[in-house]
């Protein structure tokens, strides 16, 4: 196979992983996020996963601190509501590694480090959600004997008033580095040059100085990833296809698809209400199902319910 080097759209993940995978950086990050004051003699073990389950990838950051907490963090440049599901696979695998030498069938209770989940968002699209919950993906309201997993989202788009950046020099430096790379790209500067300029300006301004002095040249090369020519062409074709689909969808909506989608939505709402009324499901449960399945607010759900009750 003809293997060549082509631009790597995942360069942010690589820098994030390298920056925070030292015990000193992990300690600073945890204290900044959780408001703790663990000292440098605190026991920290880096537990970032390689080839998680069947996926050919690794999670961005994992470590245990003081044997009491296990921290899992992911850098994310795009909005992804499924992050809790990804973290569920990570924490399951992490616990399996931690208790590999112990028996879960023992009568003695196994004590586990408390999991903490964070997403560090560096994208440009607004993502104002503060937390994501696994239960948001459930089709039904979870009962008490169900499962919950909550992920906090930290917005790393640079802002001098961003409180979390004030508490962590490494996060502030990382945010500034990514911001300056993106600023260069917006000006039409090639990625390679944008990275080099961002590294140089950050060092001059005192951001990540020691880290960039040590890894600056390596980071400059992280812009590439080994693709075969065919794989690279497939990537470009996929991006072109997605862009074409978006434009086609916009035109289709203008041509009347929107009206058809609305009718389909209303038919689904009517079927759900009718079936649940027939089964004697309480109205508060029906409203909850409508809001979850069709992304309605409470007033909209109530309107549909009252209208269907009249005609039922």
User: pLDDT of 229-284, one tens digit each?
Assistant: 343 344 444 444 455 555 555 555 555 555 656 666 777 788 888 877 877 778 88
How far apart are the two ends of the chain, measured CA to CA in Å?
A: 65
Q: Does one domain contain both 41 and 165?
A: yes
Neighbours of 38 (CB within 10 A): 17
CA dihedral 279, 284, 288, 291 (to 10 degrees): 110
Where a domain ends, among 193, 225, 257? 225
Q: What are the residues facing 72 on neighbouring strands?
A: 62, 117
Where a domain ends, among 197, 225, 253? 225
Task: Fill in the DSSP letter of residue 165.
Answer: H
Residue 304 in this model has a pLDDT that exceeds 60: yes
Q: Which pTM was predicted?
A: 0.67
pLDDT of the residue at 253 = 52
* Residue 230 forms part of a structural domain: no
Q: Does one domain contain both 124 and 143?
A: yes
Q: Does one domain contain both 215 and 252?
A: no
* Residue 109 forms part of a structural domain: yes
Provide the domain limits for residue 154: 8-225
- Two tokens at 287? 């409203």
Count the helix, strand and coil residues of the chain and give each as a percent rounded to the nearest 5.
55, 15, 30
Q: Does one domain contain both 80 and 129?
A: yes
The number of domains in the chain is 2
Task: Please answer whether residues 131 and 151 qualify as being in contact, where contact means their C-beta atoms are separated by less than 8 angstroms.
Answer: yes
Residue 90 to residue 64: CA distance in whole angstroms: 14
**Among candidates 100, 47, 105, which has minimal Cα distance to 73?**
47
- Two tokens at 157? 């788009």
Q: Does one domain contain both 273 and 197?
A: no
Q: Does one domain contain both 216 and 257?
A: no
* Residue 113 forms part of a structural domain: yes
- Two tokens at 303? 């309107």
Q: Does one domain contain both 243 and 196?
A: no
**Residue 195: band (very low, low, confident or very high) from pLDDT cuts 50, 70, 90:** confident
**Among candidates 185, 161, 156, which has minimal Cα distance to 173?**
156
Residue 167 in this model has a pLDDT that exceeds 90: yes
Residue 209 in this model has a pLDDT that exceeds 80: yes
């Amino acid at each position: 196979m003809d293997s060549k080097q082509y631009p790597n759209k995942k360069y942010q993940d690589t820098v994030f992983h390298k920056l925070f995978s030292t015990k000193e950086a992990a300690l600073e990050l945890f204290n900044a996020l959780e408001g703790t004051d663990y000292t440098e003699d605190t026991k920290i073990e880096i537990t970032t996963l390689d080839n998680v389950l069947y996926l050919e990838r690794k999670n961005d950051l994992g470590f245990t601190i003081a044997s009491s907490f296990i921290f899992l963090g992911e850098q994310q440049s795009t909005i992804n509501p499924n992050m809790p599901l990804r973290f569920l696979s990570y924490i399951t695998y992490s616990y399996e590694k931690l208790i590999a030498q112990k028996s879960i069938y023992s009568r003695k209770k196994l004590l586990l480090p408390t999991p903490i989940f964070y997403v560090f968002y560096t994208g440009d699209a607004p993502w104002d959600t503060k937390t994501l919950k696994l239960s948001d993906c459930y089709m039904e309201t979870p009962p008490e004997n169900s499962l919950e997993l909550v992920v906090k989202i930290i917005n790393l788009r640079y802002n001098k008033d961003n409180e979390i950046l004030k508490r962590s020099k490494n996060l502030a430096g990382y945010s500034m580095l990514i911001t300056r790379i993106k600023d260069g790209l917006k000006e039409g500067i090639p990625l390679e040059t944008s990275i080099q300029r961002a590294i140089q300006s950050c060092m001059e301004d005192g951001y990540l100085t020691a880290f960039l002095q040590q890894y600056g040249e390596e980071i400059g090369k992280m812009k590439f990833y080994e693709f075969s020519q065919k794989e690279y062409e497939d990537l470009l074709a996929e991006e072109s296809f997605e862009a074409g689909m978006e434009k086609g969808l916009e035109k289709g909506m203008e041509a009347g698809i929107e009206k058809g989608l609305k009718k389909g939505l209303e038919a689904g709402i009517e079927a759900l209400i009718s079936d649940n009324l027939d089964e004697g499901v309480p109205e508060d449960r029906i409203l909850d199902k409508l809001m979850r399945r069709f992304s309605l607010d409470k007033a909209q759900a109530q309107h549909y319910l009252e209208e269907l009750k009249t005609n039922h």
